[in-house]
Amino acid sequence: MLKELTDRMYESMGVSAKVLAFGKKTEAGLADRFQEIDRVAEYNQLKVIKGMQDARVSAECFNYVSGYGYNDFGRDTLEEVYANIFHTEAALVRPQITCGTHALALALSANLRPGDELLSISGKPYDTLEEVIGIRPSRGSLAEYGITYRQVELTPEGEFDLEAIREAVGKQTKVVAIQRSKGYLTRPTLSVEKIGKAIAFVKALRPDLICMVDNCYGEFVEVLEPSDVGADMVVGSLIKNPGGGLAPIGGYIAGTRECIENCAVRLTSPGLGKEVGASLGVMKDFFQGLFLAPTVVSGALKGAVFAANIYEALGFAVIPNGTESRHDIIQAVEFGDPKGVIAFCEGIQAAAPVDSYVTPEPWAMPGYDSDVIMAAGAFVQGSSIELSADGPIKPPYAVYFQGGLTWDHARFGILKSLQKLADAGMVTL
């Protein structure tokens, strides 16, 4: 009875019986994977609750604070909670950090000085960081301040190239950057275990090097975070995993007291540091989003695994593949044809609770070097912990799919994407 009702609902929302049957068959084979994801979420939920209990979170934490924000109790408590969860000495978690790129730019510019060198050991960083670093000449880049940059590529297998790292570390090297997630590349995402080994190698070369991990999209996917395996700073966006879909803005940096103090004086002003920066009423959403984040991430992960298995079965290259373990919430599907990228994104858009009636189109985006198509009907504009897909319109014409505040929504979005591809004649079921 319920089953027929649900099937009819899918049909009324534009998912054909064929597409639905294909989805059901795929889902039936994923019970073990889903159970494993639930177990990680169980652990992380406890970790978050413990972090809040240990910091004695109370209703006063959610009060509205404006002005300078001296003694902003909620803000200071939230930063303690982040430090508890990431097992770091300190954290900076603020609505004044506008997004992930800003958090990363802050972490770098705060801890590098003219004449220092930044070394990326996980290859090319995320697109928007090219302008931060000055890989693409840009106003205000680190390069303009006399900070040099080098990168060591991952091996073709996606491993850290330890010998090349040893050679690249020089007298000027000050910060070593590692990007956990693949971002807009089709390399594998790095596990926390691998990151830990690379950090240990770097620290053996020079214990004073600062290891910073771009943790975007990785939070709560595993039970350990890079800060548990030696990272001096982990950096991310609250419009992704740790915001749990509720944070309306924000970024975080968790790390050593020294690094975080550098970030604080850079964010506000020398002499002021963490003492100022009013939380402007967002604290309830920051706390509650963090509380929900392990569950939200588990739903997004199920969606990613589901999508991988659907599109792999249809013969497309998917990264990660249908069976490998997950270290972030991004799923890449290579269509080899812009038409596939566009149809996929149209399906995700059509499944959204917000703006489902609009048709996404490829467009030039600030910070990106090709047109990008983005599908998102989000409660928080541009949020990519909500069900979303982006595809730069350049070879290999891959779409990067992520998020979903609930697994049921992620499933629906993927079925709609499959429907659009079937309608466009790109797949035969």
Which run of H or E residues covers position 211?
Answer: strand 210-214
> Do residues 145 and 266 lie in contact, with contact meaning Cβ atoms separated by under 8 Å?
no
Q: For ligand PLP, which stretch binds (CB under 6 A), given 75-83, 97-105, 257-265, 300-308? A: 97-105
> Applying CB under 6 A, which of residues 216, 234, 297, 304 lies at the interface with ligand PLP?
216
CA–CA dist 3, 249 (Å, integer): 39
Q: What residues contact 214, with CB distance under 8 A and at least 6 apart?
A: 100, 104, 125, 126, 129, 177, 178, 179, 180, 181, 235, 236
x-or-dash string of contact with ligand PLP, 222-261, rule CB under 6 A: ---------------x-x----------------------
Q: Does 417 bind ligand PLP (CB under 6 A)?
A: no
H-assigned helices in 17-152: 17-28, 31-54, 73-86, 100-111, 127-133
> Do residues 90 and 254 lie in contact, with contact meaning Cβ atoms separated by under 8 Å?
yes
Nearest to ligand PLP of 84, 96 (CB atom): 96
Question: Taking the complex as a whole, how short is the minimal distance between the CB of residue 165 and ligand PLP, in angstroms?
Answer: 20
Q: Does 214 bind ligand PLP (CB under 6 A)?
A: yes
CA–CA dist 299, 405 (Å, integer): 7
Beta-carbon neighbour count of residue 156 at 10 Å? Answer: 8
Give the residue nearest to ligand PLP (CB).
Answer: 100
Q: For ligand PLP, which stretch binds (CB under 6 A), given 100-108, 267-275, 290-298, 411-419? A: 100-108
Q: Restricting to residues 264-323, which ones interact with ligand PLP according to CB under 6 A?
A: none
First to last CA, the chain: 26
Question: SS3 letters for 282-326?
Answer: CHHHHHHHHHHHHHHHHHHHHHHHHHHHHHHHCCCEEECCCCCCC
Nearest to ligand PLP of 104, 119 (CB atom): 104
Q: For ligand PLP, which stretch binds (CB under 6 A), given 10-18, 27-35, 166-174, 177-185? A: 177-185
Q: Does 181 bind ligand PLP (CB under 6 A)?
A: yes
x-or-dash string of contact with ligand PLP, 111-130, rule CB under 6 A: ---------------x-x--
Binding site for ligand PLP (CB under 6 A): 99-101, 104, 126, 128, 179, 181, 183, 214, 216-217, 237, 239
